[in-house]
Each structure stands twice: as structure tokens, then as C-alpha cells.
């Protein structure tokens, strides 16, 4: 999440009641997760396993629960519970603001765009030119939509990430990590009916230009979908996935989190992608394999009863 303007670290330290050490006169430009951070960002870490990764990342300022060494020019904000500090920062700089109008006063709608009855457009949404937003579409806060985009009925854009911090005290419970990211939809995208596209946790979920999405597709938080991709009905994509340009996912393909599908890959229906796969190949199965090899395997599986009869006959059974 980008702050509207740089925020002095001393102000943030006061907000979260943190001990500030290091570059105390600096200002933060945003707050992000480790895999999204850029120079000037805040990040938080609350487990020793990830201290080094966080401190050596691009983040300039680290919210942490222990004093430790860190590179010159950076700063630590030391608090008892970094996760709670993150939630407090998000709530302060991007609080939930209900809008009771079907189109928020802060939304921007481009020339010749049609918003049909029952559609809801949230706070600080931007929609480009020549778009069609069909009835009962929900576009939640901070979504950015380009030109010539079609979104069909019942679709929800910008819902919260399915993202929870596991807490273990006397009982295991899950605490929601507030979503302060966005959904960005580029030009000439078409999205079918009944789809759900989650906002990034702190960054952006991105749908590339020219991509076409069928009905009942789910796209998880922080997923990056390239240009001119095709996603058929009931595809489900987990969080922080990268799908490169010109990829085709046929019906009911399931994609695991934090992986990459290479450019030009085609994945046949009802397949499961559990790891990153290279592009310009055709895949099938769960987990996916080269489609031709998988088809050969299925042929041999069908022959097992016949082969078993031959074995038994040769043994005189």
C-alpha cells in the first residue's frame, strides 16, 4: 500500500507505540509484505525464522519484536506484537469507510461507460472509457479499471484477501490480516458472471490487457495475470500466483499459491497445478504433466485388466 504522501517514521512510531532506532529522521512511503516491498517501505516480521529475510529485503523500515543488527540507513520499530502494529497502521491510513450510495461520490467513471441498475461502485474506484458494468456487479474500494472493459452480472471485484495469521495461545485461532491492496484491471478485459477477484493484501492483484475470463472464476489476492490469457469456467487460482502472457486455463483448473505458469502454457480441464511450470507446453492431470505423456499413461492404465488376465493365464490360474 502506498501512503498518499511520505509519513515521518517518528509519527508511525508514535502511532504504534514503538521504540525507533536507526534512521529516525526518515519517512516511509508505504507498507508492504516481504515479497512486495520496495525502497521506502515498511515491512513487519514477528518470527526469528524470517528476521534476516526481512531485514535484508528492499524494505527500508522494519517493524519487529526484538532488537537486532540491521544495515546502515534502515530503521527498526520495535514493538511487542508486529502483526497488531501492522493492523493499526492499515486501519489508520486506509480505514474502512462505508459508502451507502450505489456509486460513491469519490468514484471516477469514464466517458461512454455504462453502469447498469443494481451495480455498486465503491470509494475511490476508477473506471475508464467505453466500459460496460452489468447489473448487480460489486466493485469495492480502490479498484482501478481501464478502458473497454466488460464485467458481467454478479461479479465481485476487490473482495478481501483470504489471508489469516495463525495465533496459538491456549487455543489455535486465526486472525484476519487486513487487506489494503487493490485490484487493477487493464484495457479490453472481459470478466464473466459470478466471478470473484480478491484485492492484494498490501499490493495489487492485476489482470492484464486483453485477458478474457469465463463465469464462476476465482482469482486470489496478489495474483498477476498477464496479457491475452483465457480462463474458462470454474478455474480457481490461489494467492500470489504469476500467470504470464497468453496462458490458457480450461475449465475447473486449480492453481496452488505462490507459483508461476510460464508464457503460452495451455492446461486442460480439471487439472491441478501444484508447482511452477514452464511455458509453451500443453499440460494435463493432477498434478499436471506433459499432456501427451499423461494421455499415454491413461491408455496403459486402461490396459491393466487385460494385462492382468494374460499374466494369470500364463500362470495357469
CATH at residue 143: 2.160.10.10
Percent of the chain surpassing pLDDT 70:
98
Same domain, 183 and 286: yes
Instruction: Convert the pLDDT of each residue in 190-240 to its tens digit.
Output: 999 999 999 999 999 999 999 999 999 999 999 999 999 999 999 999 999
Same domain, 282 and 167: yes
Long-range CB pairs of 216-224, under 8 A, 24+ apart, other chains included: 216/192, 217/191, 217/192, 219/195, 220/161, 220/162, 220/257, 221/161, 221/162, 221/163, 221/179, 221/181, 222/36, 222/161, 222/181
- Domain end marker among 58, 93, 128: 93
Cell of 263: 508464457
Same domain, 130 and 184: yes
Give pLDDT, residue 166: 79
Q: Is 159 exposed, middle or buried (0-12, 13-18, 19+ CB in 10 A)?
A: middle
Instruction: Convert the pLDDT of each residue in 158-191 to its tens digit.
Output: 999 999 987 766 677 888 999 999 999 999 999 9
Number of domains present in the structure of the chain: 2
Same domain, 134 and 213: yes
Query: How far is Cα 178 from Cα 110, in angstroms, rounded to an integer?
Result: 30
Report yes or no on 308 lying in a domain: no
Give pLDDT, residue 123: 98
Report yes or no on 309 lying in a domain: no
Report yes or no on 270 lying in a domain: yes
Instruction: Report strand pairing: 138-139 vs 172-176.
Output: unpaired
Same domain, 85 and 112: no
Same domain, 116 and 26: no
Cell of 144: 482501478
Active site residues: 221
* Residue span of the structural domain in which 179 resides: 108-293
Report yes or no on 187 lying in a domain: yes
Cell of 133: 458494468
Same domain, 132 and 170: yes
Give pLDDT, residue 160: 96
Give pLDDT, residue 169: 63
| CA neighbours closer than 13 Å in the CB half-sphere of residue 206 | 17
Same domain, 113 and 89: no
| Closest C-alpha among 146, 41, 140 to residue 97 | 140
- Domain end marker among 93, 118, 136: 93
Average confidence (pLDDT) over 88-107: 96
Cell of 22: 536507526
Report yes or no on 197 lying in a domain: yes
Instruction: Convert the pLDDT of each residue in 23-34 to its tens digit.
Output: 999 999 999 988
Judge whether 10 and 20 are in contact, CB under 8 Å: yes
| Closest C-alpha among 200, 255, 258 to residue 232 | 255
Same domain, 64 and 145: no
Report yes or no on 303 lying in a domain: no
User: Is the per-residue pLDDT at 61 higher than 90?
Assistant: yes
Report yes or no on 316 lying in a domain: no
Judge whether 30 and 2 are in contact, CB under 8 Å: yes
Judge whether 38 and 27 are in contact, CB under 8 Å: no
Report yes or no on 99 lying in a domain: no
Q: How far is CA 79 from CA 7, 16, 19, 21, 175, in A?
A: 18, 8, 7, 12, 18
Same domain, 67 and 195: no
Spatial neighbors of 73 by CB under 8 A, at least 6 apart, are: 22, 23, 60
What's 3's DSSP letter? E
Amino acid at each position: 500500500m502506498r501512503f498518499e504522501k511520505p509519513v515521518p517514521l517518528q509519527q508511525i512510531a508514535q502511532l504504534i507505540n514503538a521504540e525507533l532506532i536507526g534512521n529516525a529522521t526518515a519517512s516511509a512511503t508505504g507498507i508492504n509484505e516481504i515479497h512486495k516491498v520496495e525502497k521506502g517501505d515498511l515491512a513487519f516480521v514477528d518470527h526469528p525464522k524470517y528476521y534476516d529475510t526481512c531485514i535484508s529485503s528492499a524494505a527500508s523500515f522494519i517493524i519487529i519484536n526484538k532488537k537486532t543488527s540491521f544495515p546502515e540507513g534502515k530503521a527498526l520499530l520495535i514493538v511487542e506484537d508486529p502483526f497488531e502494529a501492522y493492523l493499526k497502521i492499515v486501519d489508520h491510513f486506509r480505514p474502512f469507510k462505508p459508502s451507502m450510495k450505489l456509486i460513491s461520490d469519490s468514484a471516477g467513471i469514464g466517458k461512454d461507460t455504462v453502469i447498469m441498475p443494481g451495480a455498486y461502485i465503491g470509494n475511490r474506484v476508477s473506471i475508464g472509457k467505453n466500459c460496460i458494468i452489468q447489473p448487480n456487479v460489486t466493485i469495492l474500494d480502490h479498484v482501478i479499471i481501464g478502458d473497454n472493459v466488460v464485467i458481467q452480472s454478479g461479479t465481485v471485484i476487490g473482495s478481501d484477501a483470504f489471508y489469516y495469521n495463525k495465533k496459538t495461545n491456549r487455543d489455535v485461532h486465526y486472525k484476519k490480516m487486513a487487506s489494503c491492496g487493490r485490484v487493477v484491471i487493464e484495457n479490453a478485459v472481459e470478466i464473466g458472471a459470478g466471478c470473484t477477484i480478491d484485492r492484494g493484501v498490501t499490493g495489487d492483484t492485476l489482470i492484464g490487457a486483453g485477458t478474457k475470463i469465463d463465469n464462476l472464476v476465482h482469482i486470489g489476492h496478489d495474483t498477476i495475470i498477464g496479457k491475452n490469457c483465457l480462463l474458462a469456467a470454474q478455474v480457481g487460482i490461489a494467492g500470489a500466483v504469476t500467470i504470464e502472457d497468453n496462458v490458457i486455463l480450461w475449465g475447473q483448473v486449480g492453481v496452488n499459491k505462490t507459483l508461476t505458469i510460464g508464457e503460452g502454457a495451455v492446461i486442460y480441464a480439471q487439472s491441478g497445478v501444484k508447482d511452477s511450470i514452464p511455458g509453451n507446453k500443453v499440460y494435463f492431470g493432477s498434478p499436471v504433466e506433459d499432456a501427451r505423456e499423461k494421455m499415454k499413461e491413461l491408455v496403459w492404465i486402461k490396459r491393466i485388466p487385460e494385462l492382468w488376465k494374460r499374466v494369470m493365464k500364463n500362470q495357469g490360474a
